[in-house]
Structure 1
Amino acid sequence: MFVRRIVLAVAFSLAALVPAWANPMLLVDRSNLAVLYAEDAGQPWHPASLTKLMTAYVVFEELGKGTVTLDTPVTISKNAWNQAPSKSGLKVDSSISLKDALYILVVKSANDVAVALAETVAGNEAAFVAKMNDVAQRMGLSGTHFVNPHGLHNPAQVTTARDLAVLSLYIEQTFPQFMPMFGTGVVRLGNARLESNNGLLEGFAGTTGMKTGYVCASGLNIVATVDRGGRKLLAVVLGGSSARERNERAAELVLEALNGQRQPTGQNVLALSNSVGAAPVDMRSRICGKESEAYVKAQQALFPIGMEGQPSFLTDQVAVHEYTAVDLGRVRNNIAMPRPRPPHTPTFSTPLESAALKGPVSPSVAAAAALDIPMPRPRPADL
């Protein structure tokens, strides 16, 4: 008790040095869209590399339309190569298959590959971003706007925890065949080992995905999906002061639901409102600026889970899924190096308009129907 009082006293003294901030967090039951916990879920926030969830979705949709295939070569242009890290390590004019590019995009969060995919699918970044914003509008993501396909900071690139949850539901329920990409922990490319930053994949049993992101202005973000104890849960945590905090808070939300500490709030994630027109929070001074040392120490004192000598929620021994990508070599005049691949048979063929989230999973949300927001489809029972 004495030690706990000391910890709390330190936490309060450190927190007084920097402005207090409650970061957005959201916990959703994916089986029925019930909100189990929501804190500032509609607060505008910079997505960082969570942007790539939409980048992937747009590519999935183009695959469904047949404009590209999983074997389509994706070439690293000079423009793509010039992007800031995180990067794939591929050279200018080198090429990989679109399937391999998606794995590298999702697992390594490679910004060069995000641009290369945009150029491959839409001809240029601007045209691809227009597709991203079109999808966001059709999904009813009223708090979301994209400026680039990678998530490197732009003040106008904004989303909310609510919108990220809805986007993640679309990915899972419209294109479930691609979910293994988001549950992959390592991509091998030549001699390189490209690793995911999602610590739940290797330390929290039942984690199936999805994505992390970080820039100074956003702090450390995560969307995580977990299938465990007969439950299908989705957690969103934005603005963490460290990867430890971000990952542990997401795991804590899930465990609280599994332990019965988080019950349905009576809200449906589709019916949550966004603070449209509000300015996004800029975490730069807290994460990378002059306030960062005091802010991070205050966060550590208030939430020490996972620090040295403290308990952790990420103690499971989980086998990490790996995927091997292949550098097809340099490409000139759109002629790629040959690489035999098995024929690809698409498992879907319809775009969002007819393959949208709908059905009896949550038929009671009349408000969503009135806004023409499609509903998630029921999923097959686990065998």
Structure 2
Amino acid sequence: MRADTVTTLTRWVRHGLLAVFLTVLPVAVFAAPFAAMVMDARTGEVLYSKNADTRLHPASLTKMMTLYLAFQAVESGKVSLDSVVTVSQNAASQPPSRLGLRAGQKIQLRYLIRAAAVKSANDAAAAIGDYLGGNEANFATMMNRQAKALGMNSTTFRNANGLTRQGHLSTARDMSILGRHVIYDYPQYYNIFSRRTADAGIAKVASTNRRFLDAYDGADGIKTGYTVAAGFNLVGSAQRGNKRVIATVFGGTSTAQRNAKVAELLDIGFARAPNRANSPQPVLMAKASSDLAGPEVTGAVDTGDEGEAPGTMQVAANTANKVAPASSLRPMKRPGTAAAPEALIADAAPHHDPEAESLAVQLAANAVSTPAPTGPRPLPRSPQIQQAGTAPGTVEPSAIEGAIAFAQSTAPQPETLALGDEPQFDPDMVAEGDADPKDPVFIQTSTPQPETLQLAEQKAPRNDTVILAAMSPPAPAKQQTREVIARASTSGGRNWGINVGKFNTQYAAERMLLKTALMESDALGSALRKVAKTKTAFEANFVGMTKAGAELACARLTARATDCNVIGP
């Protein structure tokens, strides 16, 4: 009897252990590998590392390189922040997180930069890459060339946004190096990474990194990343007093766990970093070739209402005349009287001044005739440094040291203000993370919009490139529960519809239909909700619409960063 009891207990223990093993196994299988590095940003000294040279999936940390190349193109005069980008089919087809771009849509480069840096929008990053490189493959080549120039020897890029692709790998060390270059090579744009919200042209977006920025004292960047293969990644940076520290984490298990780990690593960094340190600028490990930015992009200098201001062309011509040294110098403190950044990014009103246009053409010709720079252009040197370069020994060392002191501040710089002049709104109402685990916020006006009046009068839909929704507070509306139907009404020519997504369950599809109907009650008030079951998914459709109504509804939903496709008869 005793032996039987022992046997029974043993069997139950064995079964229990097996159940625990089967429960934990999937987590172990899908858990992304962990890696971390802490760096003194002033000197590049490594203060802590774990698996820092293991090649892993960087996810949206990739966008730091995309933005780095965008800043480089602007500073070299190849493009401007006002350059108008035509969205490619490749960019428009990228999965979330998305700004909501459509193929053929035109949008200014500044809005793409905001969306990629703040919201981590995959379509915006891909649009930047296709614009600068011509296509995804060419831009990946540019990214890899620049990575090698920065000393990122274990990194291979395959796309502009970091979505999982075979061979698209990097390391915690390389991403820390890249983060350091983003800070010091282009400080005039760095403050975009500390913004909690931004106006991205067709939508107001919130930062995927805002929780970390709000929680950690001194934090001002830089970039989050998430995919299933990568886990939760973050390159974070903070400044306290004279110290600036960069902490990189790959393979976090959640947003909260990742943020807590980066905060812990930053604490380690601030504890170990000396109060005073020699602060050499990050050095290019390889000399950049003259075609670092690839071939000239199509439509870099815009004309007509979308053209650049003459001041912008002047800056472009002047920067083209400067040749960068093989090593990147520490950014100089910008003189207070320098107006070039403001001229570069000012929201100038469209105008047609014959004399100004003639000057712009002449300056453009001068820029083209000037030999291409051999590397990334450094910021303007101070008069003391220029004098020291021409007459050695004529300047006191203290003057030189003061001249090269890096003026790092969390206060927005004029250049960054042009990148982010957005109205403030509640960021906690907008989704966090690259995977958009929540839904975007939609604010509906109670006043009928011109588009709605147009639909009521049965006129042709507006032909605007982008239709923006009003951003005034919503008026309370009585919610109506509609029944999900199985057949569309085709009376009166209403044999059109729209599709707002495919889902794994019928419940999820019905939920999306209800939410969309409440969100766009004006455009979808007469439409019928239908869940269509296919072999692979449940499709959420609105049916019983006119062609004009369907196109208008899709335009409004797309402007709200919601996927939408028109369904014909």
Flag the 1:182–1:233 CA change in 2: closer, same or farther, 3 A: same
In terms of fraction of residues, the more helix-rich structure is 2
Aligned residue number for residue 129 of structure 1? 140
Distance (Å, rounded) in 2 between the aligned partners of 1:225 and 1:167: 12
| Matched-pair contact (CA < 8 Å) for 1:174–1:355 | no
Distance (Å, rounded) in 1 between the aligned partners of 2:248 and 2:204: 27
- Among 235, 238, 252, the alignment partner of 1:226 is 238
Distance (Å, rounded) in 2 between the aligned partners of 1:177 and 1:263: 25
Aligned residue number for residue 205 of structure 2? 194
Q: Aligned-pair distance for 1:342?
A: 9.2
Aligned residue number for residue 163 of structure 2? 152
Q: Aligned-pair distance for 1:73?
A: 0.7
Aligned residue number for residue 140 of structure 1? 151
Aligned residue number for residue 53 of structure 1? 64
Distance (Å, rounded) in 1 between the aligned partners of 2:202 and 2:80: 26
Q: Aligned-pair distance for 1:79?
A: 2.1
Distance (Å, rounded) in 2 between the aligned partners of 1:122 and 1:17: 44
Distance (Å, rounded) in 2 between the aligned partners of 1:190 and 1:66: 23
Note the alpha carbon deviations across 1:345-366, whole angstroms, 9 max, x for none. Answer: 7499379963743579xxxxxx
**Residues matched between the structures, number:** 290
1:106 aligns with 2:77: no
Aligned residue number for residue 306 of structure 1? none
Aligned residue number for residue 181 of structure 1? 192
| Matched-pair contact (CA < 8 Å) for 1:213–1:222 | yes
Note the alpha carbon deviations across 1:289-345, whole angstroms, 9 max, x for none. Answer: xxxxxxxxxxxxxxxxxxxxxxxxxxxxxxxxxxxxxxxxxx9xx988659979447
Q: Aligned-pair distance for 1:145?
A: 0.3
- Among 325, 330, 355, the alignment partner of 1:354 is 325
- TM norm structure 2: 0.46
* Letter matched to residue 151 of structure 1: G
Is the partner of 2:154 in helix, strand or coil?
A: coil
Is the partner of 1:91 in helix, strand or coil?
A: coil
Q: Aligned-pair distance for 1:166?
A: 0.8
Aligned residue number for residue 380 of structure 1? 406
| Matched-pair contact (CA < 8 Å) for 2:98–2:121 | yes
Aligned pairs (5 A) from 1:246-265:
246-258=258-270, 260=271, 262=272
Larger Rg: 2
* Letter matched to residue 241 of structure 1: T
RMSD of Structure 2 on Structure 1 (CA)? 3.5
Aligned residue number for residue 66 of structure 1? 77
Distance (Å, rounded) in 2 between the aligned partners of 1:131 and 1:239: 27
Distance (Å, rounded) in 1 between the aligned partners of 2:80 and 2:45: 35
Flag the 1:60–1:354 CA change in 2: closer, same or farther, 3 A: farther
Identity %: 34
1:30 aligns with 2:13: no
| Matched-pair contact (CA < 8 Å) for 1:44–1:160 | yes
Q: Aligned-pair distance for 1:92?
A: 3.0
Distance (Å, rounded) in 1 between the aligned partners of 2:150 and 2:142: 12
Flag the 1:352–1:128 CA change in 2: closer, same or farther, 3 A: farther
Flag the 1:202–1:226 CA change in 2: closer, same or farther, 3 A: same
Is the partner of 2:244 in helix, strand or coil?
A: strand
| Structure 1 unaligned blocks of 5 or more | 1-12, 272-330, 361-373
Q: Aligned-pair distance for 1:165?
A: 0.8
Distance (Å, rounded) in 2 between the aligned partners of 1:48 and 1:21: 12
- TM norm structure 1: 0.67
Distance (Å, rounded) in 1 between the aligned partners of 2:246 and 2:408: 18
Q: Aligned-pair distance for 1:96?
A: 2.1
Flag the 1:107–1:342 CA change in 2: closer, same or farther, 3 A: farther
* Letter matched to residue 39 of structure 1: K
Aligned residue number for residue 247 of structure 2? 235
1:205 aligns with 2:231: no
Distance (Å, rounded) in 1 between the aligned partners of 2:323 and 2:158: 22
| Structure 2 unaligned blocks of 5 or more | 1-19, 275-279, 284-298, 332-375, 380-403, 410-569
Q: Aligned-pair distance for 1:176?
A: 1.1
Aligned pairs (5 A) from 1:318-337:
none
Is the partner of 1:173 in helix, strand or coil?
A: helix
| Matched-pair contact (CA < 8 Å) for 1:73–1:336 | no
Flag the 1:91–1:174 CA change in 2: closer, same or farther, 3 A: same
Is the partner of 2:196 in helix, strand or coil?
A: strand
